[in-house]
Amino acid sequence: VFVRRVTRRDTFLKKLSSRAFTTLYNTLTDFRIDPRISTYSIISRRVADAVRRLSEGNRNYALLLHWVGFEMAYIDGEHAERFAGRSAYSFRKLFAFAIDSITGQSNRPMRLSIQFGFGLSIAAQLYAVWLAVRYFIWGVKVEGWTSAMVAMFFLSGLLFANIGVLGVYLGKVFDESRHRPLYVVKDRLNFDAEASAAAIEPMAVPLVRTAI
């Protein structure tokens, strides 16, 4: 159960940075978060146990609660002003938190890099075709720097795409290194303790060596 702030009593810069982070996060990841939702929540024991089984070091509390997939509810609450002290999160810490949250939850930025790179290369090819049509039909000469710029944009697009492909592969390695479970079990029915322990143990697969 999360608390949804009806009205935020933060400073203008605080609300602006929160809105910017939410927009950037929703664009670059596969999750969708509401800037009105705070991290204050009440969770059950089984939800806490499911989160504790995730052994990764980059741990964003609210995002991990969304990932485990249990049912969520929201309660509207009034957001009070800070009565003492000041936030320990500076702009630098908030920026680092945003980068860690985005890179730790999704490899979508790399997929966007692939799309941008191929789009840039295709645009450069189309512009090169347009220059050729202008030259052969209307006799418009092509300046030397124009062809150089077209080639540069074409190669830059390929570089963006290649970096994106490399990033996707590294993202898959990163996902495997976190050892997240394939699914989270909500309830077990008609299982005793020994059967439950045996059910969650990985099945032993015999190794067979064949000679060709």
Helix (H) or strand (E) holding 3: strand 2-5
- Of the listed ranges 74-83, 88-97, 167-176, the one predicted with least confidence: 88-97
Asked if residues 113 and 161 have their Cβ atoms less than 8 Å apart, the reply is yes
Q: Provide the whole-model pTM.
A: 0.64
Residue 194: per-residue pLDDT? 55
Task: Give ∠ CA 115-121-122 in degrees, rounded to 5.
Answer: 85
pLDDT band at 210 (very low <50, low <70, confident <90, very high): very low
**Average pLDDT, whole number, for the chain?**
80
| Residue 55 scores a pLDDT above 50 | yes
pLDDT (tens digit, 9 = 90+) per residue, 15-40?
888 788 888 888 888 778 888 888 88
- Average pLDDT of the residues in 79-102: 77
pLDDT band at 62 (very low <50, low <70, confident <90, very high): confident
| Residue 212 scores a pLDDT above 70 | no
Which residue shows structure tokens 């969304």?
66
- Average pLDDT of the residues in 80-84: 79
pLDDT (tens digit, 9 = 90+) per residue, 160-208?
898 988 888 888 888 888 888 888 888 778 876 555 555 554 444 444 4
Percent of the chain whose pLDDT exceeds 70: 90
The string of DSSP codes covering 35-97 is TTEEEEE---HHHHHHHHT---S---HHHHHHHH-----EEEEPPPPP-SS--S--HHHHHHH
| Residue 211 scores a pLDDT above 50 | no
Percent of the chain whose pLDDT exceeds 90: 12
d(CA 4, CA 147): 55
- Residue 5 gets which letter from DSSP? E
pLDDT (tens digit, 9 = 90+) per residue, 114-131?
889 999 999 998 988 898
